[in-house]
Structure 1
């Protein structure tokens, strides 16, 4: 008999939620994680995440009520977040809270580094290097959930196409942040669209209470991430703030075509590629992916049908495919040049764009109740892409 029902490899938001859900449903679960690894992340979470995953308010280090879009020319558009807010979390504390909650639900925590999987005993056996002893150990399970990040070793070893996922390299610095200074304000998220900061993505300055996350990402691998972040800090008036820590990691650009190996492994979170195009938002989608991986694993454990592992991807894409396609089209259209970035920020000046964007963000669904607003946005979008109008700002 295997040691546990499920081994979850990776203890970020996706893996922690998968482990918690399975443990609460009565399954024996082991959660394997490398301690001390913090993913570079702006830390933004929407109200729907807070509600769906029962996140306590004291984990929020800031509540953002305004988003500022900054064009290559330096012109700005401030977007008020009506009827809601963007919650900010520090991943160091947020991720550990989720892992601890999974353990409270009954998951067994293991600290170490995944090495490989074999099936000599008929069931998958995960081999890992234990952090404390340095020894290689093994644990067998009926199923494995790979939630070990964008360049997932589980995906590479077990799932077709898992070694070919495109990714953006992201880098940020957590700094000690003062009150309002220069271009920085502790109640506002700044998003910088500028080819000098990132030739194909964006830079960000996100408040975290008495800290701030300042960073950027790029698919262009020879971009000097640290220099671009230093330039971003200087432009925001944050160059002299003490740096607490620096972090870098890949962020996937699109969901994988397969999330399971057709036998006993299913992927979740960044390992499955579920980061929203254009925005780079990943925490909410990772946690949804973890929950759906747990759902698929529970179904497979009950029925014995390996094909039930496909449910994770099927259910996720049924809910979020359209949003991902819209955002991917927007990134392709507007992130290709500074002239297009200027037009994109100008488009954000439109009230319809502002309201629909943040309604969709906070509720994690396309807003379908305003057909005329969608029509107006479509026409304005077409006008910008065909250069029929000039960019405008207040």
Structure 2
């Protein structure tokens, strides 16, 4: 006989593990299925709000970053200090496992295997997966399912209308043994490289992780040699001779799906729902928020018996983050089209108001409304750059 649960969560990354932990703490019976052995390519940056909202202990932070450097196609550099705080860095290999262990400690049942399909009989959904240890098909009966199985989600493609149509970039990075400060590498600074030679439509990065570092790039275009671009990025940073620990690649979605649920017994979360921020590619915070709102939606359905509450996951997420996603998407559309536009974007980053508003919004995950005149000034400068009124390499 299949085991029976209130909720089965498919995928044990930050989104799925968060949803499983939240539901288990509410006293729900939860199974968490994860493939294990897969580490998502990720810069690993986590803002203070994530650390605060999700109670992340200090020992999960492998580095604290106090400066971000923007590098233009011509090599111009703009250093942006992180005032009154820091950006924490995590290593996904250990951070994701920490979240899964925490979900199990809250009461979720951890299972290792690969999702195959969902079968239904009446009001019961049966999740079928292949157990990793035995290779056998196993079955879990449940009332609700959370699909948190990442970009190009098998759950989304088979269960949610529109789940097959989602834009994405392919991200690739190399985790290397990090030296002390060498070349242009600084273990207390994140470098973001806006250069068409590295990525024609996204960016490259060098993010310190304490004893290691993530060096990588992303692109949505076919034919780009990701490994060659990353090698060039390592060379430019003076990191060519650092030993490589591991290499990883995966798709990263660029737009939230229009629908996250199937209207009866399933809701998506995290990358499966497309909640990675445009322009920045930031995903950990939004994945964990996505897991939390999916858990809230499931709890409402379990309490009331009304499947319509599954829609509340997307509504809750968009209520808080839709405006940020819209603005970041507009920035990507405006400035990632060419090196001339990327040059202008880095020039815009010289502006102190841009720096402060950007990091206040990043750290707290909300648009800053306290300085309306700064917003107006930034808007005027933005239009001037897009219209070509000011030089690309000069300060506006």
TM-score by length of 2: 0.98
Partner of residue 95, structure 2: 94
Offset of residue 121 of structure 1: 5.6
Whether contact under 8 Å (2:343, 2:393) holds in the other structure is: no
1:55 correspondence with 2:56: yes
- Indicate the larger mover: 222-231 or 41-50: 222-231
Offset of residue 122 of structure 1: 3.8
Distance 1:76 1:208 in 2: 22
The aligned length equals 394
**C-alpha offsets along residues 51-86 of structure 1, whole Å, 9 cap, x if unaligned?**
000000111000000000000001100000001111
Distance 1:209 1:365 in 2: 28
Partner of residue 266, structure 1: 267
Aligned-partner SS, 2:79: strand
Whether contact under 8 Å (2:8, 2:142) holds in the other structure is: yes
**What residue ranges of structure 2 are gaps of 5+ in the alignment?**
none
Q: How does 1:34-183 map to 2 (within 5 A)?
A: 34-120=35-121, 122-183=123-184
Distance 1:265 1:20 in 2: 18
Aligned-partner SS, 1:342: helix
Partner of residue 209, structure 1: 210
Partner of residue 374, structure 2: 373
Whether contact under 8 Å (2:340, 2:392) holds in the other structure is: no
Whether contact under 8 Å (1:76, 1:393) holds in the other structure is: no
Whether contact under 8 Å (1:259, 1:266) holds in the other structure is: yes
Distance 2:89 2:252 in 1: 19
Whether contact under 8 Å (2:349, 2:355) holds in the other structure is: yes
Aligned-partner SS, 2:164: coil
**C-alpha offsets along residues 85-114 of structure 1, whole Å, 9 cap, x if unaligned?**
110000001000000000000000000000
Q: 1:219 to 1:113 in 2, by over 3 A?
A: same
Aligned-partner SS, 2:261: coil
Whether contact under 8 Å (2:123, 2:143) holds in the other structure is: no
Aligned-partner SS, 1:119: strand
Whether contact under 8 Å (1:81, 1:358) holds in the other structure is: yes
Offset of residue 2 of structure 1: 7.0
Aligned-partner SS, 2:310: helix
CA RMSD of aligned residues (A): 1.0
**What residue ranges of structure 1 are gaps of 5+ in the alignment?**
none
- Indicate the larger mover: 1-10 or 192-201: 1-10
Distance 1:122 1:306 in 2: 11
Offset of residue 390 of structure 1: 1.1
Distance 1:211 1:90 in 2: 9
Distance 2:159 2:305 in 1: 19
**C-alpha offsets along residues 184-220 of structure 1, whole Å, 9 cap, x if unaligned?**
0000000000001000000000000010000000000
**C-alpha offsets along residues 25-65 of structure 1, whole Å, 9 cap, x if unaligned?**
01000000011110000000000000000000111000000
Aligned-partner SS, 1:124: strand
Offset of residue 391 of structure 1: 2.9
Distance 1:238 1:3 in 2: 51
Aligned-partner SS, 2:180: coil
TM-score by length of 1: 0.99
